[in-house]
Amino acid sequence: MFIEKRNGFLRGLDMELVNFGHIEKDIYRSGYIDKVNFPAICEKGVKSIICLKTDVFSATAERHLCYPDISFRHIPLQLTSVNLGEKEKLYFAVNFLVDLPRPILIHDETGANRVGLVCALFRKTKQKWGENKIRYELNSYGFNPIFYRWIDEIIKA
Protein backbone atom coordinates (compact mmCIF):
# COMPACT_ATOMS: atom_id res chain seq x y z
CA MET A 1 0.00 0.00 0.00
CA PHE A 2 1.31 3.44 -0.91
CA ILE A 3 0.58 6.64 0.97
CA GLU A 4 0.26 10.00 -0.76
CA LYS A 5 2.04 12.67 1.25
CA ARG A 6 1.20 16.37 1.37
CA ASN A 7 4.50 17.43 -0.16
CA GLY A 8 3.63 15.70 -3.42
CA PHE A 9 5.63 12.51 -2.89
CA LEU A 10 4.07 9.07 -3.02
CA ARG A 11 6.06 6.81 -0.73
CA GLY A 12 5.98 3.11 -0.14
CA LEU A 13 8.56 0.43 0.37
CA ASP A 14 11.80 2.01 -0.91
CA MET A 15 10.49 4.05 -3.82
CA GLU A 16 9.25 7.54 -4.61
CA LEU A 17 7.14 9.04 -7.33
CA VAL A 18 8.28 12.66 -7.45
CA ASN A 19 5.56 15.34 -7.48
CA PHE A 20 2.80 12.74 -7.56
CA GLY A 21 -0.76 14.05 -7.47
CA HIS A 22 -4.25 13.88 -8.93
CA ILE A 23 -5.55 16.02 -11.75
CA GLU A 24 -8.98 14.45 -11.45
CA LYS A 25 -10.38 10.99 -10.82
CA ASP A 26 -8.19 8.48 -12.65
CA ILE A 27 -5.73 11.08 -13.98
CA TYR A 28 -2.41 11.31 -12.14
CA ARG A 29 0.69 13.46 -12.56
CA SER A 30 4.28 12.85 -11.51
CA GLY A 31 7.95 13.30 -12.19
CA TYR A 32 10.19 10.62 -13.67
CA ILE A 33 9.35 6.94 -13.71
CA ASP A 34 11.86 4.12 -13.70
CA LYS A 35 12.10 0.41 -12.96
CA VAL A 36 12.24 1.12 -9.21
CA ASN A 37 9.04 3.15 -8.93
CA PHE A 38 7.16 1.57 -11.83
CA PRO A 39 5.45 -0.99 -9.53
CA ALA A 40 3.74 1.94 -7.74
CA ILE A 41 2.29 3.05 -11.06
CA CYS A 42 1.05 -0.47 -11.74
CA GLU A 43 -0.49 -0.59 -8.27
CA LYS A 44 -2.54 2.50 -9.21
CA GLY A 45 -3.91 0.49 -12.16
CA VAL A 46 -2.52 2.89 -14.76
CA LYS A 47 -3.68 1.98 -18.28
CA SER A 48 -2.06 4.90 -20.15
CA ILE A 49 1.15 6.88 -19.74
CA ILE A 50 1.91 10.22 -21.39
CA CYS A 51 5.59 11.15 -21.31
CA LEU A 52 6.46 14.81 -21.99
CA LYS A 53 10.25 14.43 -21.77
CA THR A 54 12.32 15.71 -24.68
CA ASP A 55 14.95 12.98 -24.19
CA VAL A 56 14.02 10.30 -26.71
CA PHE A 57 16.42 7.73 -25.22
CA SER A 58 14.83 8.08 -21.76
CA ALA A 59 11.31 7.92 -23.19
CA THR A 60 12.20 4.79 -25.16
CA ALA A 61 13.54 3.14 -22.00
CA GLU A 62 10.25 3.94 -20.25
CA ARG A 63 8.25 2.48 -23.10
CA HIS A 64 10.06 -0.82 -22.51
CA LEU A 65 8.94 -0.77 -18.86
CA CYS A 66 5.30 -0.75 -19.92
CA TYR A 67 3.30 -3.91 -20.03
CA PRO A 68 1.44 -4.70 -23.27
CA ASP A 69 -1.83 -3.51 -21.72
CA ILE A 70 -0.43 -0.03 -20.90
CA SER A 71 -0.73 2.54 -23.66
CA PHE A 72 2.38 4.76 -23.92
CA ARG A 73 2.44 8.14 -25.68
CA HIS A 74 5.55 10.30 -26.02
CA ILE A 75 4.96 14.01 -26.65
CA PRO A 76 8.38 15.75 -26.45
CA LEU A 77 7.41 19.21 -25.24
CA GLN A 78 10.10 21.90 -25.60
CA LEU A 79 9.84 24.87 -23.26
CA THR A 80 12.53 27.03 -24.86
CA SER A 81 10.07 29.18 -26.82
CA VAL A 82 6.34 29.68 -27.01
CA ASN A 83 5.54 28.72 -30.59
CA LEU A 84 2.68 27.23 -32.53
CA GLY A 85 4.17 23.71 -32.70
CA GLU A 86 4.65 23.48 -28.94
CA LYS A 87 1.19 24.94 -28.26
CA GLU A 88 -0.30 22.27 -30.50
CA LYS A 89 1.54 19.61 -28.48
CA LEU A 90 -0.02 21.00 -25.29
CA TYR A 91 -3.53 20.71 -26.74
CA PHE A 92 -2.67 17.26 -28.10
CA ALA A 93 -1.64 16.14 -24.59
CA VAL A 94 -4.86 17.57 -23.08
CA ASN A 95 -6.91 15.66 -25.65
CA PHE A 96 -5.06 12.47 -24.69
CA LEU A 97 -6.08 13.11 -21.06
CA VAL A 98 -9.67 13.00 -22.24
CA ASP A 99 -9.43 10.17 -24.79
CA LEU A 100 -6.95 7.57 -23.50
CA PRO A 101 -8.01 4.61 -21.32
CA ARG A 102 -7.96 5.49 -17.63
CA PRO A 103 -6.28 5.61 -15.17
CA ILE A 104 -3.73 7.86 -16.92
CA LEU A 105 -0.34 9.06 -15.70
CA ILE A 106 1.20 12.16 -17.28
CA HIS A 107 4.80 12.88 -16.37
CA ASP A 108 8.12 14.43 -17.27
CA GLU A 109 11.45 14.52 -15.43
CA THR A 110 10.34 16.60 -12.42
CA GLY A 111 6.56 16.73 -12.72
CA ALA A 112 6.69 20.51 -12.43
CA ASN A 113 7.02 22.47 -15.68
CA ARG A 114 5.85 20.48 -18.71
CA VAL A 115 3.31 18.53 -16.67
CA GLY A 116 2.29 21.77 -14.99
CA LEU A 117 1.53 23.43 -18.32
CA VAL A 118 -0.56 20.51 -19.54
CA CYS A 119 -2.41 20.41 -16.21
CA ALA A 120 -2.95 24.18 -16.36
CA LEU A 121 -4.42 23.95 -19.84
CA PHE A 122 -6.59 20.99 -18.79
CA ARG A 123 -7.80 22.93 -15.72
CA LYS A 124 -8.60 25.98 -17.88
CA THR A 125 -10.29 24.26 -20.83
CA LYS A 126 -11.92 21.20 -19.28
CA GLN A 127 -12.49 22.16 -15.65
CA LYS A 128 -12.96 25.94 -16.12
CA TRP A 129 -10.51 26.92 -13.37
CA GLY A 130 -9.56 30.58 -12.99
CA GLU A 131 -6.05 31.92 -13.46
CA ASN A 132 -5.32 32.43 -9.74
CA LYS A 133 -6.25 28.86 -8.86
CA ILE A 134 -4.15 27.56 -11.77
CA ARG A 135 -1.12 29.62 -10.69
CA TYR A 136 -1.50 28.41 -7.10
CA GLU A 137 -1.42 24.79 -8.25
CA LEU A 138 1.55 25.43 -10.53
CA ASN A 139 3.49 26.94 -7.64
CA SER A 140 2.57 24.09 -5.29
CA TYR A 141 4.27 21.62 -7.67
CA GLY A 142 7.41 23.73 -8.08
CA PHE A 143 6.65 25.37 -11.43
CA ASN A 144 9.61 27.51 -12.50
CA PRO A 145 8.55 31.19 -12.85
CA ILE A 146 10.78 31.54 -15.92
CA PHE A 147 8.06 29.67 -17.84
CA TYR A 148 5.22 32.03 -16.87
CA ARG A 149 5.39 33.44 -20.39
CA TRP A 150 3.67 30.18 -21.36
CA ILE A 151 0.91 30.84 -18.86
CA ASP A 152 0.50 34.39 -20.13
CA GLU A 153 0.36 33.13 -23.71
CA ILE A 154 -1.85 30.08 -23.24
CA ILE A 155 -3.89 30.24 -20.07
CA LYS A 156 -4.95 33.86 -20.47
CA ALA A 157 -6.01 33.28 -24.10
Query: Looking at residue 95, which CATH number applies to its domain?
Result: 3.90.190.10
Q: Given this model, what pLDDT does residue 81 score?
A: 76
Q: Is the pLDDT of residue 13 over 50?
A: no
Mean pLDDT throughout 24-31?
93
Of 2-11, 51-60, 77-86, which range is least confident? 2-11
Secondary structure E strands in 18-57: 21-24, 27-30, 48-51
Residue range(s) defining the domain that contains residue 20: 14-155
Is residue 71 a part of any domain in this protein?
Answer: yes
Dist. CA 17–CA 28, nearest whole Å: 11
Whether the per-residue pLDDT at 9 is higher than 70: the answer is no
Beta bridge partners of 22: 28
- Average pLDDT value for the chain: 84
DSSP state of 101: P
Position 149 in a domain? yes
Has residue 2 been placed in a domain? no
Looking at per-residue pLDDT, the higher value among 51 and 11 belongs to 51
Mean pLDDT of 9-31: 75
pLDDT at 157: 66
6 in any annotated domain: no
